[in-house]
Amino acid sequence: MIKFFWRIFQFCLRNCSNERVVQLEKIQRGIILSVQLEPTDPITDPCFVLSMAKIAESVGAVAIRTNGREHVKILKGKINIPIIGLVKNRAYEAYITPTFEDVKEVVSAGCDVVAIDCTRRKRPVPVEDLFSMVRTRFPHVEIIADIADEFDAERVLPLKPDYLATTLSGYTDYTKNVKLPNIELVKRLSSFSPVPVIAEGGYSNEEEITQALIAGAYAVVVGTAITRPWIMLSKLVETFRSTNGSRSEKR
């Protein structure tokens, strides 16, 4: 009996780094569906989020990334894959879950993983303090560090995020000219990152997924291409209107 407890004690010692028990990643390798509605979108019905998430799970997606308390809540208990929660807090330049209040909002709604903006843009709380608060208060929640380039990654890696994601490449002043999806960034990050690299931002087809995997991606997030159908549809409507307009002018 004593031996048994001694083994457990040794196992805990081996697997504890400070207060955090090292565990397997919650997110498995695969496709993550991002389904996010904002107040300015043509649809705001949370049922859309739930339906998209269920479709994603039924075809083998490994996680759902969604924004805001209401959308995390509607997914909780209805799907059996991890929920990545975030809050788009537009009051700050670094706008993805930049405050502890934002983190609390999605964690209390039940997300398993929280995405945090780790770019070097203006933010309300130093990212070190935010990580420390999340680790202390919510040790069961994993953190995705959303970054824009490898310098952001180097800055945040000492804080031991659970994953790096290329989410913000193309969306900061210092990356605004990069072409998406930024597969080169996935490759560079994968060459030195000790944590899994998630490819995110502008992925829409099989070829890009394959390239991301070859570059070393652990998982790939697909969003707009699937869950913002109004963008594609409005382009088709516009094409029809302008083509039809120039045809009728000729008549």
Ligand X SMILES: CC(=O)N[C@H](C=O)[C@@H](O)[C@H](O)[C@H](O)COP(=O)(O)O
Mutual angle of helices 100-109 and 127-137, in 10-degree steps: 30
Q: Under the criterion CB under 6 A, does residue 171 sit at the interface with ligand X?
A: yes
Q: Under the criterion CB under 6 A, does residue 209 sit at the interface with ligand X?
A: no
Size of interface with ligand X, in residues (CB under 6 A): 14
Q: Under the criterion CB under 6 A, does residue 86 sit at the interface with ligand X?
A: yes
Considering beta carbons, is residue 169 or 193 the nearer one to ligand X?
169
Q: Under the criterion CB under 6 A, does residue 85 sit at the interface with ligand X?
A: no
- Which residue in 141, 200, 215, 217 binds ligand X (CB under 6 A)? 200
Answer whether 141's CB lies under 8 Å from 191's CB: no
Q: Under the criterion CB under 6 A, does residue 32 sit at the interface with ligand X?
A: no
Considering beta carbons, is residue 100 or 171 the nearer one to ligand X?
171
- Least CB distance to ligand X at residue 171 (A): 4
Whole-number Å distance between alpha carbons of 80 and 18: 30
Cα→Cα distances 41→45, 59, 228, Å = 10, 26, 9
Q: Across-strand partners of 220? A: 31, 199
Specify whether the backbone of 77 is left (phi greater than 0), alpha (psi in -120 to 50) or beta: left
- Least CB distance to ligand X at residue 179 (A): 13
Q: Under the criterion CB under 6 A, does residue 223 sit at the interface with ligand X?
A: yes
Whole-number Å distance between alpha carbons of 100 and 14: 30
Binding footprint of ligand X on the chain (CB under 6 A):
34, 36, 86, 167-168, 171, 200-203, 221-224
